């Protein structure tokens, strides 16, 4: 009896050892069912993506958009000393003109037309005496300024030399962007050469940042640095969604908060600059301020939304229409306005020399005034 128990225990030990070896070296042998056929994959199992086929790659979008993104180099002659012609000044200080070096600048741009039109930021080329554009394939050409719009910080250039087979970017529908969409920023940061960075749309409709007069920025965390200005913000298909314009930074480098002008705005400005050489906007001559709930309660106003007028230009269109300081504008041409940004945009959309109806709340009275719209004066970026 004892020998039988010893043989049984040894057999069990050998079987367990064999099972351990099989489970370690050939676990798939244990997954087969009684019929010898491997079980089917359940719906909870995720098949592995083959190498090189990962969905996180946006190389196709980069290859599609990158050729149309160009580097822009600008130069500006040094400021002339007003005393340079004074013989005594030249005697003591010598000829200063030969020693001064021209100011250089670097930025980016986007080719938007086969005719050689390039879209970029106004601050990239502002005040430049010479503008040179370099394509991603190494070709270079000088460019001239077609028109600028400092209030949106956009400018359109035209290549002075005819280059064959210019790469052109495709405009996308920036109005369809949503927070969380993947975007790529393409430009020339710090002058190191064309660079592609990726991120997502962090926010839409950013305004009141004090960057431009008309603001409706796309905010992204795609790395944008000095030199990226004027470059392209594209979607996962490589279509243009915006023009990279500014960053929020305390150090001068990227901190994950960048701003781009939507492609829809850039396209409207571009078409106006090409056709007319300028962007024509409406203007009525008022100084607006946000209407807060505290203000509405203090003045016993029956409205809670609108824009408070704190100043009216003497002799301007608004004053001639009867608008007074203290009035609250509630709508312009039938469009409700609840903020200074909405008021500014609504007035800008009006055609100069046309008449528009403005609804204002004056105390407990609601008035309908008709104003003859004037053309918005040109504003230099430096003077804002």
List the domains of the chain with CATH numbers: 62-78+100-159 (2.40.10.10), 174-276 (2.40.10.10), 282-375 (2.30.42.10)
So which residues are the catalytic ones? 123, 153, 229
User: What pLDDT, on the 0 to 100 scale, is given for residue 133?
Assistant: 92
**Contacts by 287-291, CB closer than 8 A, 24 or more apart:** 287/311, 287/312, 288/329, 288/340, 288/343, 288/344, 289/340, 290/339, 290/340, 291/328
Region of 300 on the Ramachandran plot (φ > 0 left; ψ -120 to 50 alpha; else beta): left
Structure token digits, residue 70: 């160009």
The one-digit pLDDT tens for each residue of the chain (384 residues) are 566 666 767 777 777 777 766 666 666 566 544 444 444 433 334 344 444 444 578 899 999 999 999 999 988 876 665 565 666 556 555 555 555 566 677 899 999 998 999 999 999 999 888 899 999 888 899 999 999 999 899 999 999 876 778 999 999 999 899 999 999 999 988 878 889 999 999 999 888 787 888 888 999 999 888 888 999 999 999 999 999 998 876 666 667 789 999 999 999 999 999 998 888 899 999 999 988 888 888 888 888 889 999 999 999 999 999 999 999 999 998 889 988 888 988 999 899 999 999 999 998 889 999 999 999 887 655 443
User: What pLDDT, on the 0 to 100 scale, is given for residue 331?
Assistant: 92
DSSP state of 96: -
Secondary structure of 313-326 in the HEC alphabet?
CCCCHHHHHCCCCC
């Amino acid at each position: 009896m004892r020998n039988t128990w010893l043989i049984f225990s040894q057999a069990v030990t050998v079987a367990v050892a064999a099972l351990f070896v099989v489970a370690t070296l050939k676990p798939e042998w244990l997954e087969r069912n009684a019929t010898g056929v491997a079980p089917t994959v359940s719906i909870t199992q995720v098949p592995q993506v083959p190498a090189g086929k990962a969905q996180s790659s946006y190389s196709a979008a980069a290859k599609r958009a990158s050729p149309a993104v160009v580097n822009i180099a600008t130069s500006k002659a040094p400021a002339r000393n007003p005393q340079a012609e004074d013989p005594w000044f030249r005697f003591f200080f010598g000829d200063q003109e030969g020693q001064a070096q021209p100011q250089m600048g670097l930025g980016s741009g986007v080719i938007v037309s086969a005719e050689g039109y390039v879209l970029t930021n106004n601050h990239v080329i502002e005040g430049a005496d010479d503008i040179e554009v370099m394509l991603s394939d190494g070709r270079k050409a000088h460019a001239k300024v077609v028109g600028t719009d400092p209030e949106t910080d956009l400018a359109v250039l035209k290549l002075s030399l005819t280059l064959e087979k210019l790469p052109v970017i495709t405009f996308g529908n920036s109005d369809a962007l949503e927070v969380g969409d993947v975007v790529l920023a393409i430009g020339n940061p710090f002058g190191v050469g064309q660079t592609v960075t990726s991120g997502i749309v962090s926010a839409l409709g950013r305004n009141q940042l004090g960057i431009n007069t008309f603001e409706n920025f796309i905010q992204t965390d795609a790395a944008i640095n000095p030199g990226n200005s004027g470059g392209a913000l594209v979607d996962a298909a490589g279509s243009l969604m915006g023009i990279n314009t500014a960053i929020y930074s305390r150090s001068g480098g990227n901190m994950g908060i960048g701003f781009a002008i939507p492609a829809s705005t850039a396209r409207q400005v571009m078409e106006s600059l090409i056709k007319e050489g300028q962007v024509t906007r409406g203007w009525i001559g008022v100084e607006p301020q946000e209407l807060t709930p505290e203000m509405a309660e203090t003045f016993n106003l029956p409205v809670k939304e609108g824009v408070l007028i704190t100043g009216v230009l003497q002799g301007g269109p608004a004053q001639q229409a009867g608008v007074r300081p203290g009035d609250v504008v509630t709508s312009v041409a039938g469009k409700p306005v609840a903020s200074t940004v909405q008021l500014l945009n609504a007035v800008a959309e009006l055609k100069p020399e046309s008449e528009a109806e403005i609804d204002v709340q004056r105390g407990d009275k609601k008035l309908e005034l008709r104003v003859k719209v004037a053309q918005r004066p040109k504003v230099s970026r430096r003077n804002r």
